[in-house]
Amino acid sequence: MLDNLANINGLPQYIRIRESIRERILSGELVRGEKLPSEDELAMVYGVSRMTLRQSLADLIDEGLLYRKHGVGTFVALQQFARDHTVLRNFIETSKEEGLNVEEKLLDARLTSAKFQVARALNLEEGDKVVCLKTLRILEGNPITIHEAYFDHVKFSDFLEGNIEELSKDLLAYYESKGYKVKRGIQRLEARSIENDIAEILQIDESTPLLYKERTLYTAEGIPVEFLYCYNRGDLYSVTINLTT
């Protein structure tokens, strides 16, 4: 074995192969339900060892794009499982990708003291200084969601001195720029009756229920970064979730 030609374009081979196979599926070259060539054969075709090829397949199987049958083969799944709300993505960017008209309006940004629930989620003491950021999201002209985010003033002390309007458009990027790259989160959803002040901001009457959400975001290490309350118009907003095993 000489050398691996891995970094021809800076990417590991298994990623290039994975994306090549994904492309062949999404383009329709590989039809749903169709059997792929065997792992041995694919490894040969792509010029890698079988272990490397299996690394490519593993990711696609995890996504639900492929499935394996022991002793039979590897197949393209019949159903594509779309991106969903279990993947953390920037709301404004993804909505724009989908061709939707989105605005975000800054409602409030200030320094405050952590109440019990916020403190517990962020692993702080009650009364510790936190930044509170309230925004309103407007989809196709309809106010749809109020966000009330909290994060540690010690970790993110320069937020309120920056261009808040700009920073709040991509908080995940801001967190990362401070060394806190968000990797995981836990969220909890409830149906709730609407409260007065929220009905007013969302411009709906009190019979419309709210899809209420609490969310905590963490780094890979498990450090809590943000705690969020989220009030969504029940009649316009739904949450899609992929389930496994």
Partner DNA sequence: GAGTGGTCTAGACCACCCG
Partner DNA sequence: GGGTGGTCTAGACCACTCG
Q: Contact positions toward a second copy, by CB under 8 A?
A: 32-33, 51, 64, 67, 75, 77-82, 84-88, 183-193, 207-212, 215, 217-218, 220-224, 232, 234, 237-245
Shortest reach from residue 208's CB to DNA, in Å = 47
Q: How far apart are CA 147 and CA 83, in angstroms?
A: 22
CB crowding 178-217: b at 16 or more within 10 Å, else e: eebebeeeeeeeeeeebeeebbeebebeeeebbbbbebbb
**The pair of three-digit structure tokens given for residue 181, joined into one six-digit string:** 């790259």
Q: Please give the single-letter amino acid code of residue 233.
A: R
Q: Please give the single-letter amino acid code of residue 119.
A: A
Is the Cβ of residue 12 or residue 209 nearer to DNA in the bound state? Answer: 12
Pick the binder of DNA from 19, 55, 187, 235 (CB under 7 A): 55
Q: Count the neighbouring beta carbons within 10 Å of the beta carbon of residue 25.
A: 19
Is the Cβ of residue 73 or residue 234 nearer to DNA in the bound state? Answer: 73
Rg (CA), the chain: 23
Shortest reach from residue 70's CB to DNA, in Å = 4
Region from 66-74, 142-150, 153-161, 197-205 binding DNA, contact rule CB under 7 A: 66-74
Q: Which does 4 bind (CB under 5 to 8 A by kind): DNA, a second copy, none?
A: DNA
Site residues (CB under 7 A) for DNA? 1, 3-4, 6-7, 12-15, 36-41, 47-52, 54-55, 68-74
